[in-house]
Chains A and B, each alone.
Chain A
Amino acid sequence: MLDFELPEDLRVLQKTVREFAAAEVAPFCHAWNEEERFPHELIPKLGALGLLGMAIPERYGGAEMSLQAIALVVEELAAVDGSVAITVASHNGLASGHILLAGTEEQKMKYLPDLASGKKLGAWGLTEPGSGSDAAGARTRATRLDDGSWSLSGTKTFITQGSVGGTYVVLAVSTPEKKQHGITAFIVERGTPGFRAGKVLEKMGLHASDTAELILDDVRLADSQRLGQVDHGFIDTLKILDKGRVTIAAMALGLGYGAHEAARRYARERRQFGKSLAEFQAIQNMLADNATELDAARLLIRRAAWMYDQGQRITLAASMAKLYAAQAAMRACNRAVQIHGGYGYTREYPVERHMRDAKLCEIGEGTNEVQRMVICRQLLSRGELHVPHVLA
């Protein structure tokens, strides 16, 4: 039987995170964003709740939750603040996800407990100034030295937690002639000689999330810092991105939903021409479209997460969910600002912040255009869709 109800534990989780976000994030996030400040004081609280080790197994100090659960958490946080949502999504998914996927037992024991507790924040260095989705264009070089150790040199950019991270995973070209099949991953600790954060980037939105450049200048690493097999970094990266796209889709959904809820409340309270905004058909149309499109996005996300939790390949389903959710969120935020009228354009109401934050979801972890490329590649290269037939 097809069941659309959230199971009991996920409903308890949803309630917990909703209450946490209302008490610990909502009263402060406007100020964090206005001050463009990373909320360091929130990190221990996120850690205590278990939100920083969601995918990590219990034996390494995590909560070992399903992707469905992680998506739900990110959605609830994003409904209140996009910056906190992307901090949690990236910390849980990227560096710690990579260590979890490709790390040796020693590496997992050494790095995962501090990531799960929030003692250290994770950052993942893939993107470079000259290479985004086109990973084959990466220039950061990993040169193997005679003693088997490595030297890394290059520059990374758009790195979430770039200046506040404690544990970094950096991708570097180990065998240039093999292009994307010549990339290797390394764990780099904060404070390693030659490794530092560069410029902290000023962004359109997500002002309370840290995004920075990373600079690697002859960073010497023992071979024990290599993560996964030599030249295997990009293959692992694709798996991490599939999963990450589901959480970015959930972030988009939360942002859109947060803006939509604000607009729904505002439409009922605000009176013009002797009646509430909600009594005008033009406003009703916008609210109805928002609710419908966001619900469709939610179903795509739930399905992609469900497939992942079933052990299925989600390349297609994850890209579909992210593409649709990001666009639905932008439309929902745009309508929410429109419903708020002049107030919606001011920074006194949260909808404009949600709109700016949501734009990231059309760009980060693969732009809308890249998602379409991924989707179409799947459509054209296979006889059969990698979508469960019951839902397709």
Chain B
Amino acid sequence: MKILVTAKRIPDPGQKIKLKGNALDLSAANWQLNQFDEYAVEAALRLTEDGAAPATRQGAVTVASLGPADVQQQLRSALAMGADKAIRVEAKDEELDAVIVAKTLEKLVRRDQPDLVLMGKLAADNEGNDVGQRLAALLGWPQATFACSIQVVDGGKALLVGREVDNGVEIKKVRLPAVVTVDLRIIAPQAVKNGRTAANFAYPEGPRYASLKGIRAAKDKPIEALTLSGLGVSTALQVKTHGSELPPARQAGKKIASVHELVEKLRSEAKVL
């Protein structure tokens, strides 16, 4: 199976947000791979290997990202985890919106013709959650979003995708080629079944570490460099960011001495009684 995984770099969500004027100041950001994209890489690797003998690849995983030269490090991390090749489309973060990203991915898919596009359900920076859906629409492919499990069926021609919904797990069957976006439970020990790995095989929970051998091997794996204009993607932004502001700082709470005072304040100040 040929899989294209998308990867976005985001500022470390644990870092404090800084503003410069009314714009985000990302000059001191620690960039990292969006965690859901890392889960997509892990799921793609599980789909293209025998879990008991992961060194022998049974398919090909390409990881693609749009971004500046620095993104290469996140791509190299994915290659070190075991992905086979990477593509970087040169772009500045502020020159991108979901439409441009989806259209760029559409060009890559039409060119490389993967059997499956695996993506994180959203990027944890702006939580857009729309590139996967847009891409499926542009391609006219079936889509399954928020996947918590994937099982290869029909001799590799379709997937059963589990999706956690309010009243349980919905199982959706999608023909390949398809676009699937993954949620966090896709990295559970037995969430991905590719038909080759023994059914009772259990992975350690979570995305795999890049091993030292993986890191060495990644040095020699190709990272193809492309440009938006080279791919023929219009760079006109359809979503413009006009400004960012921090939520108002929380006021310190008040200490109250008695139940009587509490009720009084709920009535007179909070006006909830």
Contacts and interface: CB of A to CB of B under 8 A. Distances in A.
Interface centre among B215, B216, B219 (most CB of A within 10 A): B215
B80 A16 contact: yes
B216 A9 contact: yes
B234 interface: no
A23 B208 CA distance: 12
A51 B73 contact: no
A54 B211 CA distance: 11
Interface in B59-89: 72-73, 76-77, 80
Interface string B182-206: 0000000000000000000000001
Given A9-B216, A63-B216, A49 B211 contact: yes
A50 B212 CA distance: 5
Given A12-B80, A16-B80, A50 B213 contact: yes
Contacts of A63: 211-213, 215-216
A8 B73 CA distance: 6
Nearest to A64: B216
A11 interface: yes
A9 B211 contact: no
A58 interface: yes
B218 A12 contact: yes
A52 B153 CA distance: 39
A19 interface: yes
Dominant secondary structure of chain A at its interface with chain B: helix
Contacts of B215: 9, 12-13, 16, 63
A65 B212 contact: yes
Interface string B116-144: 00000000000000000000000000000
A12 B76 contact: yes
B212 A51 contact: yes
B77 A65 contact: no
A11 B73 contact: yes
Contacts of A50: 211-214
A8 B76 contact: yes
A16 B209 contact: yes
B99 interface: no
Contacts of A13: 210, 212, 215
Interface in A32-68: 48-51, 54, 58, 63-65
Contact of A49 (B73, B212, B216, B218): B212
B76 A9 contact: yes
A63 B206 CA distance: 23
Interface in B199-245: 206, 209-216, 218-219
Interface residues of A, number: 20
A257 B218 CA distance: 29
Contacts of A64: 216
A211 to B, nearest CB: 26
Contact of B209 (A8, A19, A54): A19
Nearest to A23: B206
A199 interface: no
B72 A8 contact: yes
B209 A12 contact: no
Nearest to A65: B212
Given A8-B72, A9-B218, A9-B219, A15 B212 contact: no
Interface centre among A16, A54, A65 (most CB of B within 10 A): A16
Contacts of A54: 212
A65 B219 CA distance: 12
A69 B219 CA distance: 14
Interface string A69-111: 1000000000000000000000000000000000000000000
Interface centre among A12, A16, A54 (most CB of B within 10 A): A12
Nearest to B207: A19
Contacts of A58: 213, 216
A13 B76 CA distance: 10
A266 interface: no
Interface in A304-357: none
Contacts of B209: 16, 19-20, 49
A12 B213 contact: no
A23 B207 CA distance: 12
A50 B211 CA distance: 6
B117 to A, nearest CB: 25
Contacts of B73: 8, 11-12
A263 to B, nearest CB: 19
Closest 3 CB pairs of A and B: A50-B212, A63-B212, A16-B210
Interface of B: 72-73, 76-77, 80, 206, 209-216, 218-219
28 contacts: A8-B72, A8-B73, A9-B215, A9-B218, A9-B219, A11-B73, A12-B77, A12-B210, A12-B215, A12-B218, A13-B212, A15-B77, A16-B80, A16-B209, A16-B210, A16-B211, A19-B209, A20-B209, A48-B211, A49-B212, A50-B212, A63-B211, A63-B213, A63-B215, A63-B216, A64-B216, A65-B212, A65-B216
Given A12-B77, A16-B77, 11 more contacts: A8-B76, A9-B76, A12-B218, A15-B210, A23-B206, A49-B209, A50-B214, A51-B212, A63-B212, A63-B215, A65-B216
